[in-house]
Structures are given as structure tokens and as C-alpha cells.
């Protein structure tokens, strides 16, 4: 199923996967970015299942446990980077800038996302989509982890996004996604915490990217406790949605900055020619 949203004169196509588009084929390295905060007991399960289509694993680590030691033991070629500032959003942004792949997949380290789903995400990038987001609430997806409170919060925030952007997305606050690295700048990410996933989706819509939703099964965290606080992090996602809404001051400012950046780049081209 495909829907089309219009934002600021740009078209954004959202596809739910019930067929496979075979438009432009892409290739290139695949980087997997994983934020970790004290996941030593879960990481072996995750890294042990990373499929061969992944060329590089980038861990963004904020742990005080043996996460790094465990990472190198499981996968000696892992790259570990530090984040600047606290929170999952800061971690992912540091990981995205550090990775070398043309296609970037992000997933959690707590065992709630199975790496065996990665080829599915990459497949849709390879076949013409710019941004592929996992969904727990479409046919074929599911969650064995989410609480009623979180589900209600996710649904409310999702409804708001669907109304603001005229879309019919089925999930919002879920951190299993993949995108083409060329669009990292267009995603224009500033989120520091658990609002990062919502910001990625709404900026992908605003930028007019071709978006696919693919079914994903969220498993229970294998051990340890979630770092998310439903009320405070939910409020943070809400603030991000409202601040970045279409035609708000901050959206217009960042679009203007990008336009100035593009113009400056064009002006400087003849010098290099
Ligand atoms: N590097 C880094 N990773 C984080 C931070 N907060 C959470 N994570 C990681 O982000 C992923 C999701 O966090 P989690 O606590 O499971 O949140 P939940 O899935 O929303 O309940 C896990 O891999 C965490 O280890 C952080 O501040 N820094
Ligand atoms: Mg989790």
C-alpha cells in the first residue's frame, strides 16, 4: 500500500510493504549503528546474529559495564565511538557521522530487535526507497516488549504526526530503521534523547524522502532495564513534534539554512572545476 504526503511543495511517498518495488537499484557498503548503554549481557546475542550483508558495525557506547570488552570479544572488527552529550539521540548522531557505509541501519543492543531482519530493510533501500522504518503495528509486525502505557503514548503521538503530515504511518517511536547516507544532511538531526526516532521520521517526511514501512517484531529486552521514562521522554517527543511541525519557525529556519548551504556549494563549484 502506498500513500503520498505533500509537505512544503515536496512529495513524500510512504509505502507499506505488500509488494516489492523494483525501481533504481543501489549498492555500496552497509553500516550498522548500535547505541549501547550497559548492554554487556545482551550484546553477544545481537552481534552473533549480524548478517553478512553488514560491512561495518559501529557501536556508540556510553556504558560503565563490560560492553566494550564484550563487543571486541564477539566481533574484533567492531568500531567503537564515543558520543558527545548524553542520550540515545546524541549517540545515534555520533554513530551516523562516524560510519563509512552508503546505507545505514540502526538498531538497539538489548536484544529487542533481531538482526536477522536487517536484509529486509536493506532490500527496500536497494530497490528505490530512501528511508525504511520498522513497524510493530502493521501486518506481520508485533511487540512482545511494549507496555500498555507506552503503546497508548506511541499511538497518540503517531496520530498527531499522521494528522500533521497527512500520512498513515503505523508506528513512530521505534528505533529499527535504515536510510541512504546521502540523505543524512536532509534529516537535519538535532534530537538528543528518545525523540530521535520521531524526529528522523518527520524530517524524512519534510524532506520528501521515499519512505517504506516494513513489519518488525519487537522482542523482550533480554536482560537489564529500559532507560526510557514513559512520561518525561513522551513529553520530549511531543515537544519535538510540535517544534518541528510543518511551517513552524524552526522548520522554516532550517530549510533556509539548508538552501543557503546548497547555494554556497553551487557558487564554489566553478573554482574547483
Ligand atoms: N550510547 C547510548 N545508548 C543508549 C542511551 N540510552 C539508551 N541507549 C541504548 O539505546 C537502545 C534503546 O534503549 P532502551 O533502554 O532499551 O530503551 P527502550 O527500548 O525504549 O526501552 C539500547 O541499545 C540502549 O543501550 C545513551 O544515553 N547512550
Ligand atoms: Mg529496549
pLDDT digits (tens, 9 = 90+) for 97-127: 999 999 999 999 999 999 999 999 999 999 9
Is residue 75 one of the residues assigned to a domain?
yes
- Mark out the alpha helices in the chain (DSSP H runs): 40-47, 67-74, 88-98, 118-126, 148-165, 184-187, 196-206, 230-243, 249-272
pLDDT at res. 12: 57
pLDDT higher than threshold 70 for residue 62: yes
Q: Band the pLDDT of 15: cuts 50, 70, 90.
A: low
CATH number at residue 134: 3.90.550.10
Instruction: Give the Å distance between the CA of 235 and the centre of ligand 1.
Output: 17
Which of these, 271, 171, 183, 260, lies nearest to 212 by C-alpha position? 171
Residue 240 phi, psi dihedral angles, 5° rounding: -65, -40
**Count of domains observed in the chain:** 1
CA of 243 from ligand 2 middle (Å) equals: 26
Domain membership of residue 273 (yes or no) is no
Higher pLDDT, 67 or 16: 67
pLDDT of 249 reads 72
pTM, rounded to two decimals: 0.87
> What pLDDT is attached to residue 44?
98
101 inside domain: yes
Find the DSSP H helices in 166-248: 184-187, 196-206, 230-243
- Ligand 1, CB within 6 Å, residue ranges: 35-37, 39, 60-62, 83, 86-88, 91, 108-110, 112, 221, 226-228
Q: Is residue 233 part of a domain?
A: yes
In a domain, 150, yes or no: yes
Model pLDDT for residues 176-216, shown as the tens digit of each residue: 999 999 999 999 999 999 999 999 999 999 999 999 999 99
pLDDT digits (tens, 9 = 90+) for 143-174: 998 999 999 999 999 999 999 999 999 999 99
CA of 185 to the centre of ligand 1 (A): 23
Among the bound ligands, name the one nearest to the CA of residue 219.
2
Q: Is residue 156 part of a domain?
A: yes
Smallest Cα–Cα separation from 184: which of 258, 84, 96, 257?
Answer: 96
Domain that holds residue 76: 2-266
> Is 6 within a domain?
yes
Q: Is residue 22 part of a domain?
A: yes
Amino acid at each position: 500500500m502506498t500513500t503520498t504526503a505533500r509537505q512544503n511543495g515536496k512529495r513524500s511517498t510512504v509505502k507499506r510493504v505488500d509488494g516489492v518495488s523494483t525501481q533504481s537499484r543501489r549498492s555500496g557498503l552497509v553500516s550498522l549503528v548500535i547505541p549501547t548503554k550497559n548492554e554487556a549481557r545482551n550484546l553477544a546475542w545481537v552481534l552473533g546474529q549480524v548478517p553478512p550483508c553488514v560491512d561495518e558495525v559501529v557501536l556508540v557506547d556510553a556504558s560503565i559495564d563490560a560492553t566494550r570488552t564484550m563487543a571486541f570479544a564477539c566481533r574484533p572488527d567492531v568500531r567503537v565511538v564515543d558520543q558527545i552529550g548524553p542520550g540515545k539521540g546524541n549517540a545515534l548522531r555520533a554513530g551516523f557521522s562516524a560510519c563509512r557505509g552508503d546505507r545505514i541501519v540502526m538498531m538497539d543492543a538489548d536484544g529487542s530487535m533481531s538482526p536477522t531482519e536487517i536484509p529486509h530493510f536493506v532490500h527496500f533501500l536497494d530497490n528505490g526507497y530512501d528511508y525504511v522504518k520498522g513497524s510493530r503495528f502493521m501486518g506481520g509486525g508485533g511487540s512482545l516488549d511494549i507496555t500498555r502505557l507506552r503503546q497508548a503514548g506511541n499511538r497518540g503521538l503517531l496520530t498527531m504526526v499522521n494528522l500533521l503530515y497527512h500520512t498513515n504511518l503505523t508506528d513512530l517511536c521505534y528505533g529499527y530503521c535504515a536510510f541512504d547516507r546521502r540523505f543524512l544532511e536532509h534529516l537535519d538531526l538535532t534530537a538528543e534523547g528518545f525523540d530521535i526516532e520521531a524526529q528522523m521520521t518527520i524530517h524524512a517526511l519534510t524532506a520528501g524522502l521515499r519512505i517504506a514501512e516494513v513489519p518488525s517484531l519487537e522482542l523482550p529486552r533480554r536482560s537489564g532495564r529500559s532507560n526510557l521514562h514513559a512520561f518525561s521522554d513522551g513529553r520530549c517527543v511531543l515537544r519535538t513534534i510540535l517544534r518541528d511541525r510543518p511551517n513552524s519557525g524552526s522548520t522554516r529556519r532550517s530549510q533556509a539554512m539548508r538552501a543557503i548551504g546548497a547555494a554556497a556549494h553551487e557558487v564554489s563549484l566553478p573554482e574547483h572545476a
